[in-house]
Structure 1
């Protein structure tokens, strides 16, 4: 991306015009003015015509969003469903796998998102076991170790691709190749991947993939997308149903034969219209260009942090994402976040609940997190580093 490209993106983003330095894209990104306008236009339509009458136009916008999501993921449009959050989307798909039996095994990476682990508790109560796939020497999930764990009792492999902490990019495609070879369902939590790195669900060999709309996609809160591989759909029997997900026919109520079996008739057309605009903007910009920009910016930040006394980095893997976990000596991560907010600089802060298996394994109680977007500039980096040095001293 050229400096002019970045300038245009920033000029189209209200948060950038307000003097804010935003390094918390992994929490929620700054939306564009066009995304805000799209949401407001649908709300105005509902206010003027009534929400029910405006729903016909809203449904058209949702289908545009579905096509844009399919384009971004290299997925058929019919394989995309929308939900109110990434955790909801993942939980719905997990629950639809069916009854768990004593002795069933669920294999997860050490960096698994805490929300997914919480959803697995019902399976554990039924007698299933959650087992951690060993990491390689770099801290990434090891496909070779996974292969050695496979037997007939393994009912699910689940991977958090880009974990919340550590900047790690797990080998999602290699894990998918193992899962596909053994015919084991494979779920990917791509909450920090979609919108940051190129995602091709065909190459990943995944059966289910989810992501939130508010993070790197720059969509509104209260939106998420769920991909379900078409040939895997028949194995999923959602417990949540209504007249949309299981419409009436002469044979009675029957589940849809596409991913919309995970949706309901009650949805926010305004929010998903906004997500659709954000997806279209990303497709027009090009995810490869976005990832190249994020990678370059995050490398500059990491190098600066390494040279700054009092900063400890917590990177894993051989190559890192735009999520940078660190601590500043003498500072609690959450208090550091609060103090930076007073200077109009946003970062994130995570405790053990975000990635409990990994945080406990590494003896980390909390971390501060910088997460990069294409909107960030050298001036943003300078303001952040100046503030960190001031607080350290």
Structure 2
């Protein structure tokens, strides 16, 4: 971190407060529960008076609440957050409302997910009955504090994950509508999120990447339509892929979490595989029902075999692309190159104005570390790229 003059560490004493710190840094200019050298022009270390660089100066119009004890239901949640304010918003089922007569429970509505922060709350499995304190702080701030723009809230996961009382608790905090996306398992939950997001073709007005070359300078990412991504086979070649959906491992989830910055930026649906010889039923059904032209498989054949990738492509009638490295870390670097245009040259000066997000990821299973931070970081990194595609140090 010392080698980056404007490095910022966002953290808290636990995963929930780190989630809060990440969320509040979306808007900036507030009191944050983290500590880092101040890169602002004033040179002050007082967190109560930070410079604008501390945050992205973006007020979320909704929040996304997920359980913080397991990534199961949350792997696909990051894609719901829209950092560009240019996407087609998801169509979700309402679970609570301030005015049920006007907004009936069980009805559907579009949700404005611009800059939606992903907030971790303690789960029902951990004995929770309502929102964690950190989520309440963030929710109040976005609804009626430093921001007053968030009017809708999304819960991803069933009541075994996020307590049943949370829906009405969010209404009590001032949210006009609450939507809960849940399935019988993580695969069905991801499929429901994917269907809600939908896909789109490459617009006639934008048939080429806004920044074709990624050589020797930061690359500008462009938004074209939901699920339209930039695919960079090299630093000098960029191709647009429309109607794109991701298929990735749903057991360990490291690749899905590492993809959060670009699935969020381009609003790409994420479907999950269970590592077995056959695709989960919910994933198969989604592959057949969503209009898919390009299927991006994340991770090596140990996670998703060639046979499964081929079968998924046939079910979707789509061309299959794979991004993989020998391990999760290499896979994340391949994503940065292929989808972010971050082709390292070996010269630090070439990356001086680049935006890099680094989170921990190790190991797997019950002792897994880092995934909660990666989950919260996905929308933040997507928003950072959306706000300033060529970020520069403060002047």
Q: Where on the TM-score scale, by shorter chain, does this alignment land: which range?
A: under 0.3
Q: TM-score, normalized by length of structure 2?
A: 0.23
**Which structure is higher in helix share?**
1
Q: TM-score, normalized by length of structure 1?
A: 0.23
Structure (1 or 2) with the larger CA radius of gyration: 1
Q: Which gives a bigger RCO, structure 1 or 2 (Cα 8 Å, sep 6+)? A: 1
